[in-house]
Amino acid sequence: MKLFIGSDHRGAVLKQEIIKNLTEDGFLIQDTKLQNSESDDYPDFAFEVGENVINNEEALGILICGNGIGISIAANKVKGIRCARVLNEDDAFKSKNHNGANIIALAGDMSIHKAMEIVNVFISTKPASEERHLNRINKIIKYENRE
C-alpha cells in the first residue's frame, strides 16, 4: 500500500516523525513535493496529496496542519477524496470502515505516540463492507458526480 503525506509548517515536525515510523515499519511513503516555509498554505498540500491518492489505486493519505480542520476541508475539494479530521483511534476506524475515508487529517501538536496509534488503526482498518455503510458512501459519490 502506498501512503501519501503532507503538512503545512505547523505539522512539519509531526510529519517527519510519522514518515520515520512508517518507513521503519516497511511502508512506502511519499511526501509532497512542496517545501515547508512559514508562509506556506495548507490547501496546496491538501490538493497535492488528494490528487496523488485519487491517481493511485488503494492509496491512502495523511495530512497535518495546525488543528487538522483546514487541511481536511481543502482535501475534500478534490473530487473523490473523503478526508476526515480524526482525534482518536475510534475516529480513525469509523472514518475508513463506516465513511470510506481515504485520507485522515491530524493536528500538528498531537504527540507522535497518539498520531501513530491513529495512523496504524487507519491503515489496518478494512474499507467499508456493510451494505448500510456502502449505501451512504455511494450517495456521497453520486452527489459529488452530480448523478
pLDDT single digits (tens) 80-104: 999 999 999 999 999 999 999 999 9
Q: How far is CA 18 from the centre of its chain?
A: 12
Is residue 53 within 8 A of residue 4, CB to CB? The reply is yes
The catalytic position among 65, 83, 113, 133 is: 65
pLDDT single digits (tens) 63-86: 999 999 999 999 999 999 999 999
- What residues contact 89, with CB distance under 8 A and at least 6 apart? 117, 118, 121
Annotated catalytic residue 65: yes
Question: What range defines the domain where residue 110 resides?
Answer: 2-144
For residue 45, what is the domain's CATH number?
3.40.1400.10
Question: In angstroms, rounded to a whole number, what is the distance separating the alpha carbons of residues 127 and 110?
Answer: 25
Annotated catalytic residue 113: no
Q: 20-46 b/e with 16+ CB inside 10 Å = b?
A: ebbeeeeeebbbbebebeeebbbbebb
The catalytic position among 9, 98, 113, 133 is: 98
Give the chain's domain count: 1
On the question of pLDDT at 1 being above 90, the answer is no
